[in-house]
């Protein structure tokens, strides 16, 4: 028995399997980016729809780990409530079962054919859908070829006496051996950070006759516990809500595993009863032709039944994690930290997160408009409003820095031309929003000087200032609304032209101010402050135009 050959063949097959899953995830995300955006936009407090959203996202990204990491980071940004997040994670556990059905199909020997059929359209396809189709075929080919290599590596083990004697301890014929199988599967899944990869190994060991159905089911239970490690790692350093989300994911899977372990013999019998053909039926060559389908059913039923148990208990689970993870005493700033390893986050999901964070920045900037206007029209200095403006500006600084760092890492990986264009556009948009926040902060600082000196500009100057402030605010609102509804090129061009009208209005107001200054209606000292405030508003208008130009570039 050449154990070295078995090892490197199995590892090579696993590597091909991993690569296939990665390509499949990227292809599905690229072709379904609008669907992903729609699912994220429709996230709701309704627990059933949140679960369905989790199912949909996981089907596209082909990884419950990606979905849970994304959910934790969105919660950390304050863009999703804990109850919503728990529903999405429940759905992710159902969505990940699709992988089991894909790899249960007995087409391993056609893997190279799929690679051959998909290679040309993947490399030379001129249209996005042709390129995506080719990449999907290559991905499936790599998945099946990887499984075929692993199957060939594991086949000799079923007749190896040393391995069989060792495997006796993990035969799932008693409670201690069931627990041992669960533990080893949990640890291995934590190491590889992919329940799909472990499920592929489990199916390969079972179909080659190395392990029986009982052992495979016990391994599935352990894999569902082990997959929670990714969310736990993603929550390190996050805010309280994100940590609670990760803990809810672990509690959900661990308690589900306990329930199914307690019902293990009856659960195995039930699956064997409802699926045609005996799971452990062996063919002449020692393989088990029926077991892959049985494992896929067992894996799906485990997750579906577990979700059905927990859907009515989402409120209880929410309260439980709130009790387990108390609110941090220090003040928390909601910001998207893009937690988790970039190696598991495919480009399309990363860009969707960045776009959601862009929406978050727009909301913060819009709040700054309201707070700043309230501050500058107040009869006296309001410290609470002034501090709020500075606090919001600090948040935009943090978000811009994190977004640029994140997108920079994204661009070091394999991205399409379209994804690269969107990435650079998002970085420029983040920079322009942060500059708008800076200008609003400057406006409040200039106003505070008048408060401190107990001075004020003339009523006519104030009227022009507030009119221009409202014009700039309205222009900002129209542009951000256009982006939100994915305005076409014609509308964007009209908005850019509209910026010239706002600039013309500013010129007229500045000329009126100079006329007042020459007439002696304004003092020179306050006139300078008026000019500084007016320049801040012009900067806001200019950065708003730059923002829409960056959007037009995307």
Which pair of structure tokens corresponds to residue 8? 């490197």
Q: What is the pLDDT of residue 332?
A: 46
User: Nearest Cα to 450, choosing from 382, 385, 539, 381?
Assistant: 381
Q: How far is CA 360 from CA 80, 330, 405, in A?
A: 11, 22, 17
The residue behind tokens 């402050």 is 529
Q: What is the pLDDT of residue 384?
A: 92
- 247 in Cβ contact with 86 (< 8 Å): no
Q: How far apart are CA 372 and CA 478, in angstroms?
A: 19
Confirm whether 89 is domain-assigned. Answer: yes
Rounded to 5 degrees, what are φ and ψ at 161?
-65, -40
Residues 313, 461 within the same domain: no
Give the end of a domain, one of 324, 356, 391.
324
- 129 in Cβ contact with 31 (< 8 Å): yes
User: Nearest Cα to 62, choosing from 139, 150, 173, 174?
Assistant: 139
Residues 282, 404 within the same domain: no
Residues 280, 355 within the same domain: no
Residues 448, 527 within the same domain: yes
Confirm whether 220 is domain-assigned. Answer: yes
Confirm whether 269 is domain-assigned. Answer: yes
Q: What is the residue-level pLDDT of the chain in tens, covering all 554 positions?
A: 577 887 888 888 888 887 887 777 777 766 666 666 666 656 655 667 778 888 887 777 766 777 777 777 667 656 567 788 888 888 888 888 887 887 777 666 778 888 888 888 888 777 777 887 888 888 888 888 887 888 778 777 766 667 666 665 667 778 888 898 899 889 888 887 778 888 888 888 888 888 888 999 999 999 989 888 877 877 776 678 778 888 988 998 999 999 999 999 999 989 988 887 777 777 777 777 788 889 999 999 998 999 888 888 888 888 898 888 887 654 544 445 443 444 455 677 778 778 878 888 899 999 999 999 999 888 888 999 999 999 999 989 988 888 888 888 888 877 777 888 888 999 999 999 999 999 999 999 988 888 887 777 778 878 888 899 999 999 999 999 888 888 778 888 888 888 888 888 888 887 776 776 666 666 655 667 778 888 898 999 999 989 988 887 75
Confirm whether 259 is domain-assigned. Answer: yes
Residues 300, 152 within the same domain: yes
Q: How far apart are CA 372 and CA 370, in angstroms?
A: 6
Q: What is the pLDDT of residue 343?
A: 47
User: Nearest Cα to 56, choosing from 69, 37, 74?
Assistant: 37
- 88 in Cβ contact with 81 (< 8 Å): no
Rounded to 5 degrees, what are φ and ψ at 211?
-125, 160
Which pair of structure tokens corresponds to residue 538? 């012009």
Give the end of a domain, one of 292, 324, 356.
324
Prediction pTM value: 0.67
Q: How far apart are CA 137 and CA 111, in angstroms?
A: 9
Q: What is the pLDDT of residue 45?
A: 58
Q: How far apart are CA 378 and CA 222, in angstroms?
A: 62
Kindly report the number of other CB atoms within 10 A of residue 241's CB atom: 23
Say what angle helices 175-192 and 195-207 make with each other, to 10 degrees.
Answer: 130
Residues 391, 319 within the same domain: no
Q: How far apart are CA 249 and CA 184, in angstroms?
A: 20
- 287 in Cβ contact with 152 (< 8 Å): no
User: Nearest Cα to 353, choosing from 71, 51, 64?
Assistant: 71
Q: What is the pLDDT of residue 18?
A: 78
The residue behind tokens 């409120």 is 315
Confirm whether 128 is domain-assigned. Answer: yes
Kindly report the number of other CB atoms within 10 A of residue 167's CB atom: 17
Per the structure, the complete domain to which residue 309 belongs is given by: 3-324
Q: How far apart are CA 310 and CA 252, in angstroms?
A: 8
Q: What is the pLDDT of residue 106?
A: 66
Residues 163, 286 within the same domain: yes
Say what angle helices 240-262 and 264-274 make with each other, to 10 degrees.
Answer: 80
How many domains does the structure of the chain reveal?
2
Which CATH number does the domain housing residue 465 bear?
Answer: 1.20.58.220
DSSP labels for 398-421? HHHHHHHHHHHHHHTS---HHHHH
Length of the chain: 554
Confirm whether 336 is domain-assigned. Answer: no
Q: Which residues does 409 contact at the CB level (< 8 Å), separation at least 6? A: 342
Distance, first Cα to last Cα, the chain: 58
Give the end of a domain, one of 324, 358, 385.
324
Residues 246, 281 within the same domain: yes
Residues 288, 353 within the same domain: no
Confirm whether 333 is domain-assigned. Answer: no
Range 129-135, long-range pairs (CB < 8 A, 24+ positions): 129/31, 132/27, 132/30, 132/31, 133/27, 135/23, 135/26, 135/27, 135/30
Q: Which residues does 20 contact at the CB level (< 8 Å), separation at least 6? A: 138, 139, 140, 141, 142, 143, 144, 145, 146
Residues 310, 410 within the same domain: no
Confirm whether 337 is domain-assigned. Answer: no
3-state secondary structure of 78: coil
Residues 395, 314 within the same domain: no
Residues 283, 401 within the same domain: no
């Amino acid at each position: 028995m050449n154990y070295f050959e078995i090892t490197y063949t199995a590892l090579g097959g696993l590597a091909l399997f991993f690569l296939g899953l990665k390509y499949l995830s990227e292809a599905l995300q690229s072709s379904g980016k609008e669907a992903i955006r729609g699912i994220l936009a429709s996230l709701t407090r309704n627990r059933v729809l949140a679960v369905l959203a989790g199912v949909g996202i996981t089907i596209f990204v082909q990884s419950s780990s990606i979905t849970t990491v994304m959910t934790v980071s969105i919660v950390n940004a304050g863009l999703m409530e804990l109850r919503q997040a728990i529903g999405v994670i429940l759905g992710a556990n159902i969505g990940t079962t699709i992988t089991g059905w894909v790899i249960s199909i007995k087409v391993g020997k056609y893997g190279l054919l799929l690679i051959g059929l998909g290679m040309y359209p993947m490399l030379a396809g001129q249209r996005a859908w042709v390129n995506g189709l080719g990449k999907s075929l290559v991905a499936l080919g790599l998945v099946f070829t990887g499984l075929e290599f692993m199957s060939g590596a594991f086949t000799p083990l079923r007749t190896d006496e040393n391995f069989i004697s060792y495997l006796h301890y993990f035969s799932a014929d008693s409670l201690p051996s069931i627990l041992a199988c669960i533990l080893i599967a949990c640890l291995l899944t934590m190491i590889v950070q992919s329940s799909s990869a472990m499920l592929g190994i489990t199916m390969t060991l079972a179909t080659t006759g190395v392990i029986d159905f009982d052992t495979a089911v016990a391994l599935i239970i352990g894999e569902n516990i082990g997959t929670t490690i990714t969310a736990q790692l993603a929550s390190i350093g996050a805010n309280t809500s994100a940590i609670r989300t990760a803990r809810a994911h672990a509690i959900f899977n661990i308690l589900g595993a306990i329930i199914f372990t307690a019902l293990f013999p009856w659960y195995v019998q039930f699956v064997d009863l409802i699926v045609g053909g005996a799971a452990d039926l062996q063919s002449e060559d020692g393989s088990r032709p029926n077991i892959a389908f049985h494992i896929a059913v067992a894996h799906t039923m485990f997750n579906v039944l577990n979700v059905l148990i927990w859907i009515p208990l989402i409120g209880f689970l929410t309260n439980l994690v709130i009790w387990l993870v108390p609110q941090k005493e220090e003040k928390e700033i909601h910001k998207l930290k893009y937690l988790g390893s970039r190696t598991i986050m495919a480009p399309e999901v990363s860009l969707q997160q960045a776009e959601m964070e862009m929406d978050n920045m727009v909301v913060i900037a819009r709040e700054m408009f309201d707070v700043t206007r309230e501050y500058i029209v107040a009869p006296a200095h309001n410290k609470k409003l002034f501090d709020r403006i500075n606090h919001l500006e600090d948040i935009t600084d943090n978000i811009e820095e994190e977004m640029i760092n994140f997108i920079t890492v994204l661009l070091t990986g394999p991205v399409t031309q379209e994804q690269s264009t969107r990435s650079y556009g998002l970085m420029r948009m983040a920079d322009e929003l942060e500059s708008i926040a800076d200008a609003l902060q400057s406006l409040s600082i200039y106003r505070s000087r008048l408060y401190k000196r107990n001075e004020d500009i003339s009523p006519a100057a104030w009227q022009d200032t507030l009119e221009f402030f409202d014009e700039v605010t309205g222009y900002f609102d129209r542009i951000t609304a256009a982006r939100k509804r994915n305005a076409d090129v014609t509308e964007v061009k009209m908005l850019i032209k509209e910026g010239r009208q706002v600039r013309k209005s500013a010129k007229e107001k500045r000329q009126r101010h100079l006329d007042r200054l020459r007439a002696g209606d304004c003092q020179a000292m306050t006139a300078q402050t008026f000019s500084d405030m007016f320049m801040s508003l012009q900067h806001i208008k200019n950065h708003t135009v730059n923002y829409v130009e960056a959007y037009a570039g995307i």
